[in-house]
């Protein structure tokens, strides 16, 4: 009888294999710090009344926004995790079925939400429903076309992923196609995090020079992207060219005092 060969055991996952633990690692803190600066610049000039962040309570993407109401949408099991770190309203709900009325939100931020969702396109459909016309949507995610994305792809073959294993990282081009189908127009985009995919804190801090080099020489290969889009109203178009309206010249009036001096 031929003995059955033993099944090779999978290599143990690193301590930051889960998304929560990965964010506490040096690469995770590096990503959160870069995204915080990027979000602060984008949301500072978005105006309205209601702003909502979905998930990722480890970062406050609305800190520099001046709307009167900031809310965090989260799952019930995240109620005690980082949710009380910032001063905002906490709402329990599911991104697939947003608990908001149609056309009621001015700003929605999705930090790394789509890549950990079972149906990311459904989330975008819900976002389109609840956003007001000309409302703003901001998305962040990992860039598959980067050194980090290449290492993640190769590491899946040997069982030691660099990024969380359960993330399905979506290309920026695919997200752009989804947004255009939902009548969003792209407003601005940023790439960042050009350091090599290493683990140690000292290794990450010693590669600061790669940030300037990456921004100049290979900007689209940053490990992380942040995308801003605006919801456009359907059925409103400008047809032709608007004719300028000429204001007729106003005849100069004679001063009252001069009229009294020289009566007719």
State pLDDT tens for residues 199-242.
888 877 778 888 888 778 888 899 999 999 999 986 655 455 54
Q: pLDDT for 159-177, tens place per residue?
A: 678 888 778 889 999 999 9
Report if residue 255 sits inside a domain.
Answer: no
The answer to whether residue 12 sits within a structural domain is no
- What pLDDT shows up at residue 243? 55
Q: At what angle do helices 172-181 and 120-130 cross, to 10 degrees?
A: 40
Reply yes or no on whether the pLDDT at 245 is more than 80.
no
Which pair of tokens denotes residue 251?
A: 């005849």
pLDDT digits (tens, 9 = 90+) for 122-135: 999 999 999 999 99
Rounded to whole angstroms, the Cα distance separating 28 from 112 reads 12
Does some domain include residue 239? Answer: no
Q: Domain count for the chain, please give it.
A: 1
Tell me if residue 117 falls in helix, strand or coil.
Answer: coil
CATH number of the domain where residue 155 is located = 3.40.50.150
Instruction: Please give the model's pTM, rounded to 2 decimal places.
Output: 0.80
Q: How confident is the model at residue 9 (pLDDT cuts 50, 70, 90)?
A: very low
Alpha helices, DSSP H only, in the chain?
19-24, 26-43, 120-130, 147-158, 172-181, 201-205, 209-217, 256-261
Q: What is the pLDDT of residue 135?
A: 97
Q: Is residue 1 part of a domain?
A: no
Average pLDDT, the chain: 82
Q: What single DSSP character describes residue 154?
A: H
Does residue 238 lie in a domain region? no
Question: Is residue 256 a part of any domain in this protein?
Answer: no
In a domain, 195, yes or no: yes
Q: Which residues contact 54 (CB under 8 A, 6 or more apart)?
A: 72, 73, 74, 95, 108, 109, 110, 111, 113
pLDDT at res. 54: 96
Give the residue with greater pLDDT, 149 vs 17.
Answer: 149
**Averaged over 7-28, what is the pLDDT?**
66
Q: Please give the residue range of the domain that contains residue 109.
A: 19-232
- Is 99 among the domain residues? yes
Weakest mean pLDDT among 37-41, 110-114, 190-194, 204-208: 204-208
pLDDT digits (tens, 9 = 90+) for 39-78: 999 999 999 999 999 999 999 999 999 999 999 998 766 6
């Amino acid at each position: 009888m031929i003995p059955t060969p033993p099944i090779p055991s999978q290599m143990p996952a690193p301590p930051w294999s889960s998304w929560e633990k990965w964010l506490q690692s040096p690469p995770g803190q590096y990503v959160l710090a870069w995204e915080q600066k990027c979000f602060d610049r984008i949301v500072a000039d978005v105006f309205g009344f209601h702003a909502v962040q979905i998930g990722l309570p480890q970062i406050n993407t609305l800190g520099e926004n001046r709307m009167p109401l900031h809310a965090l949408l989260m799952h019930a099991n995240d109620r005690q995790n980082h949710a009380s770190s910032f001063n905002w309203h906490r709402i329990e709900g599911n991104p697939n079925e947003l608990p908001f009325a149609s056309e009621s939100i001015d700003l929605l931020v999705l930090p790394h939400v789509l890549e950990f969702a079972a149906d990311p396109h459904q989330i975008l459909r819900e976002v389109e429903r609840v956003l007001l016309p000309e409302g703003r949507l901001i998305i962040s995610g990992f860039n598959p076309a980067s050194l980090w994305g290449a290492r993640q792809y190769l590491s899946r073959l040997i069982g030691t992923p660099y990024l969380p294993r359960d993330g399905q990282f979506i290309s920026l081009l695919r997200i752009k196609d989804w947004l255009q189908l939902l009548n969003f127009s792209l407003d601005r985009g940023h790439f960042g995090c050009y350091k090599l995919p290493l683990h140690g804190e000292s290794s990450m801090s010693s590669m600061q020079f790669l940030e300037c080099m990456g921004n100049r020489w290979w900007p689209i290969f940053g490990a992380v992207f942040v995308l801003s889009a605006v919801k456009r109203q359907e059925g409103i178009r400008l047809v032709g060219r608007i004719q300028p309206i000429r204001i007729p010249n106003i005849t100069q009036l004679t001063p009252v005092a001069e009229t009294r001096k020289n009566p007719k």
